[in-house]
């Protein structure tokens, strides 16, 4: 869930959300009892106790870097979406219709013979334009143009909501991406996995340039890698980029050249075609200054090679097999540990969903998300929000005025469940059957231009940033909203026929997680309108930080990979959301009982079923390379460690009779309680 949601980790899921059968889809009450390992004490390893047998027998498929609950649900969503796409392709939709665009985009991607026949010639106009660059000003314009085409680069610029005035869109800029997952891969000299990645990456760059027809590819690759290493040194860390207040830096467009010298900003902006006026909100000013200086000083020939490489790498999915294989070998096999490439149809479904997601979403919702499922999910959200409000009302450590403002913020929440009220308009997107490369570039330009068109127009807060087929959820602090796509509202997260304890612990904790992102260490910096504002007292902040420091320390002690611990500062927001999410879900479930004592089912008390239901959604395995990459780049603690948050919940100790001396045991005064 990212602040926006999860990362990570379902069971054999066959039926649509509300089947005529009234039995739960998993076990007798919504939980996989057979997957438990009851030889392990819950207080020693709750994940092993609740899912040890399942995990021991779980094999990661050859086309995956990790596998578990989330992955299985995503596979199901992918298979359903394939059926929808193939129906659209077979329907022979009228020219310009969404059915035509969906069918033709997918068919063009799947037509490997046509892609092989065209070869690298489809990139000739772009590579010729790069070869024609004569000056650093030309280079600046090319860097800007690449953003419009969806090609990554060392500088990012686009359009998004203004965090200090969320009812308008603004131009935003900052550091761009690197070829390796993070600056640590370039700069950490001690980790042998990073050293191996660097060696493989240089060979990969050379391979891509060689396939594209460049001579002296190995020497060019060495120079490109040296350039990227320079850029990595001046980039902000992921922890630094989490800071909402420090990443909001308005700079007048007229001052860009003096504040960030080395880049011809007028030509760069002209290349993007963004009608920049007034100011640009800069997220990483020192990194932008450093990158601009490198652009100004580094050899133009190396920069041209770098742009050519970026262009080829970005287009690789729609180029001949040799490019596809090289891309897979670097990014999936080397960096993720994935032995085999996904079947092409899966890649095609993902690409089509990424381009025409809401066109497919309409059909997905009609087929797999009945109104009764949405109504039940709406009810759950209301109950979790009520539980959070009760928590805030009795929060002793917060100043009364701040507490009242927090409750006002919660009351102003906008939950979005299942799918948007208004679907995206794709009429301006041209899709041509047989033109995979052209479709790829036109789709990127369509999305970029769609964002640019929002400048100087009223903000539509009904917009979604995930499709209904996405197994995820997110919190958007700028619009004070929580969003749950239809595809996550399925077992094991949500099953209308499951025991309430399971639903409250699974989807209830997800809902609570997203709600509390608005009150985590960064979300708390936004007021009830979504404006980045300081509405807490200094004393509130100090007391809050005392709690968050404990969260950083507790998670920073976990070591999923030998020699690499969880980065407690990077994962702070997600860990806080897990802690508060399960706490609030517990409160909401207790309130739903109205004083009734739940009966035992299969020998488990209601309290035990609640915590088992929470743990079940995090059953997941990782390949070592994938796990290492997540620890470096992802703000989420790896999924199989997330159930350990229960060691902070008093009710868990009582439910499983957890005693001092057991590995997860914390003294009552050591259990973290923030919300």
pLDDT band at 89 (very low <50, low <70, confident <90, very high): confident
For the beta carbon of residue 559, count every other beta carbon within 10 angstroms: 12
Tokens found for residue 63: 């086309």
Residues with Cβ within 8 Å of 402's Cβ and at least 6 positions away in sequence, in order, are: 535, 536, 537, 540
Contacts of 640 (CB under 8 A, 6+ apart): 9, 47, 55, 68, 560, 618, 619, 620, 621, 622
**Percent of the residues in the chain that have a pLDDT greater than 90, as a whole number:** 92
Q: Does pLDDT of 6 surpass 80?
A: no
Spell out where 146-274 has E strands: 155-162, 165-175, 249-252
Q: Which of 635, 390, 408 is nearest to 512 (CA)?
A: 390
Q: What is the pLDDT of residue 199?
A: 98
Strands 249-252 and 414-418 come out as unpaired
Residue 574 has, within 13 A of its CA and on its CB side, a CA count of: 28
pLDDT at position 580 over 60: yes
In the β-sheet with 474-476, what is the strand arrangement from edge to edge? 414-418, 481-485, 474-476
Contact 487, 13 (CB under 8 A): no
Query: Over the stretch 431-483, which tens digit does the pLDDT of each residue have?
Result: 999 999 999 999 999 999 999 999 989 999 999 999 999 999 999 999 999 99
Residue-level pLDDT at 588: 96
pLDDT value at 198 more than 90 = yes
With residue 286 as reference, give the H or E element that holds it: helix 285-297
Q: What is the pLDDT of residue 92?
A: 74
Predicted confidence (pLDDT) at residue 615 exceeds the cutoff of 80: yes
Work out the pLDDT band at 14, boundaries 50, 70, 90. Answer: very low
- In the 8-state DSSP scheme, what is residue 482? E
Q: What is the pLDDT of residue 404?
A: 97
Residue 172 token pair: 């935003």
Q: Tell whether domain 33-77+369-422+460-670 is in CATH 3.40.390.10.
A: yes
In the numeric block, the tokens 């500062």 are attached to 569
User: Per-residue pLDDT for 18 more than 70?
Assistant: no
pLDDT over 70 (residue 8) = no
Q: What is the mean pLDDT of residues 630-648?
A: 97
The yes-or-no verdict on residue 401 having pLDDT over 80 is yes
For the chain, what are the domain ranges?
33-77+369-422+460-670, 126-336
pLDDT digits (tens, 9 = 90+) for 187-197: 999 999 999 99
User: In this predicted structure, which of 19-28, 120-129, 175-184, 204-213 has the lowest mean pLDDT?
Assistant: 19-28
What is the C-alpha to C-alpha distance for residues 368 and 168, in angstroms, rounded to an integer?
A: 35
Distance, CA of 421 to CA of 467 (rounded, Å): 12
How far apart (Å, rounded) are the C-alpha atoms in residues 671 and 645?
A: 10
Strands 481-485 and 474-476: antiparallel
Q: What six digits make up the tokens of 600?
A: 């035992």
Mean pLDDT of 168-172: 97
- Mean pLDDT of the residues in the chain: 94
DSSP code string of 373-385: HHHHHHHHHHHHH
**Of the listed ranges 21-30, 80-89, 426-435, the one predicted with least confidence:** 21-30
What is the predicted pLDDT for the residue at 21?
64
* Residue 564 predicted with pLDDT over 90: yes
Phi, psi of 331 (to 5 degrees): -85, -25
Residue 4 has pLDDT above 60, yes or no: no
Q: What is the pLDDT of residues 362-400, one digit of tens each?
A: 999 999 998 888 888 899 999 999 999 999 999 999 999
Task: Enumerate the β-bridge partners of residue 604.
Answer: 601
- Between residues 4 and 176, which one has the greater pLDDT? 176
Q: Regarding beta strands 66-68 and 620-622, do their DSSP bridges make them parallel or antiparallel, or are they unpaired?
A: antiparallel
Question: What angle is formed at CA 538 by the lines to CA 533 and CA 543, rounded to 5 degrees?
Answer: 115
**Topology of the domain comprising 126-336:** Neutral endopeptidase; domain 2 (1.10.1380)
Among 10-24, 65-79, 207-221, name the one with the lowest average pLDDT: 10-24
478, 517 Cβ separation under 8 angstroms: no
Q: How many residues does the chain have?
A: 675
255-308 pLDDT, tens per residue?
Answer: 999 999 999 999 999 999 999 999 999 999 999 999 999 999 999 999 999 999
Phi-psi region of 51 (alpha: psi -120 to 50; beta: other; left: phi over 0): alpha
Residue 27 reports pLDDT greater than 50:
yes
């Amino acid at each position: 869930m990212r602040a926006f949601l999860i990362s990570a980790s379902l069971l054999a899921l066959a039926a649509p959300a509300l089947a005529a059968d009234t039995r739960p889809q998993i076990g007798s009450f919504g939980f996989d009892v057979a997957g438990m390992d009851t030889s392990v004490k819950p207080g020693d390893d709750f994940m092993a106790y609740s899912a040890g047998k399942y995990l021991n027998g779980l094999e990661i498929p050859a086309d995956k870097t990790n596998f578990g609950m989330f992955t299985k649900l995503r596979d199901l969503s992918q298979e359903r979406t394939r059926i929808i796409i193939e129906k659209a392709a077979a329907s022979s939709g009228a020219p310009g219709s969404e059915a035509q665009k969906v069918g033709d985009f997918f068919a063009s991607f799947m037509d490997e013979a046509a892609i092989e026949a065209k070869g690298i010639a489809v990139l000739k106009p772009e590579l010729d334009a790069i070869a024609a660059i004569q000056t650093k000003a030309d280079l600046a314009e090319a860097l800007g143009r690449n953003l419009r085409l969806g090609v990554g680069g060392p500088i990012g610029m686009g359009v998004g909501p203004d965090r200090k005035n969320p009812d308008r869109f603004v131009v935003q800029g900052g550091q761009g991406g690197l070829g390796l997952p993070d600056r640590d891969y370039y700069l950490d000299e001690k980790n042998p996995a990073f050293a191996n990645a660097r060696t493989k990456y240089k060979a990969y760059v050379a391979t891509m340039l060689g396939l594209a027809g460049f001579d002296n590819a190995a020497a060019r690759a060495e120079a490109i890698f040296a350039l990227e290493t320079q850029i990595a040194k001046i980039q902000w860390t992921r922890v630094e980029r989490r800071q909402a207040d420090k990443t909001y830096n308005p700079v007048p467009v007229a001052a860009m050249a003096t504040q960030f010298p080395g880049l011809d900003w007028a030509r760069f902006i002209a290349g993007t075609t963004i009608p920049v006026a007034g100011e640009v909100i800069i997220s990483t000013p020192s990194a932008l200054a450093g990158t601009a200086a490198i652009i100004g000083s580094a050899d133009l020939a190396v920069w041209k090679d770098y742009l050519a490489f970026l262009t080829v790498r970005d287009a690789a999915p729609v180029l001949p097999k040799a490019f596809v294989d090289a891309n897979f070998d670097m990014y999936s096999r080397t960096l993720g540990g994935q032995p085999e490439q996904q079947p092409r149809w899966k890649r095609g479904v993902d690409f089509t969903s990424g381009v025409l997601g809401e066109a497919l979403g309409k059909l997905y919702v009609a087929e797999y998300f009945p109104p009764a499922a949405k109504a039940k999910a709406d009810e759950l959200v209301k109950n979790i929000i009520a539980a959070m409000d009760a928590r805030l009302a009795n929060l002793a450590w917060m100043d009364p005025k701040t507490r009242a403002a927090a409750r006002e913020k919660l009351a102003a929440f906008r939950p979005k469940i299942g799918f948007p009220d208004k679907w995206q308009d794709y009429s301006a997107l041209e899709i041509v059957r047989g033109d995979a490369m052209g479709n790829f570039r036109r789709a990127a330009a369509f999305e970029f231009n769609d964002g640019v068109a929002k400048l100087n127009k009223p903000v539509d807060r009904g917009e979604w940033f995930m499709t209904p087929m996405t197994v995820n959820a997110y919190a958007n602090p700028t619009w004070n909203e929580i969003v749950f796509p239809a595809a996550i509202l399925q077992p094991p997260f949500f099953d209308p026929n499951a025991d309430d304890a399971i639903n409250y612990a699974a989807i209830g904790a997800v809902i609570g997680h997203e709600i509390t992102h608005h009150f985590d260490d960064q979300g708390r910096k936004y007021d009830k309108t979504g404006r980045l504002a300081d509405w807490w007292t200094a004393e509130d902040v100090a007391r809050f930080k005392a709690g968050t420091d404990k969260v950083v320390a507790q998670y920073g002690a976990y070591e999923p990979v030998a020699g690499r611990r969880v980065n407690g500062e990077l994962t702070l927001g997600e860990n806080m959301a897990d802690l508060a999410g399960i706490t609030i879900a517990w409160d909401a479930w207790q309130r739903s009982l109205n004083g009734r004592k739940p009966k035992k089912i299969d020998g488990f008390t209601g309290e035990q079923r609640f915590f088992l239901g929470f743990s079940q959604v995090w059953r997941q395995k990782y390949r070592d390379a994938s796990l290492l990459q997540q620890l470096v780049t992802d703000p989420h603690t790896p999924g199989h460690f997330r159930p350990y948050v229960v060691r902070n919940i008093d009710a868990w100790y009582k439910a499983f009779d957890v005693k001092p001396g057991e590995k997860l045991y914390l003294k009552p005064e050591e259990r973290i309680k923030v919300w």
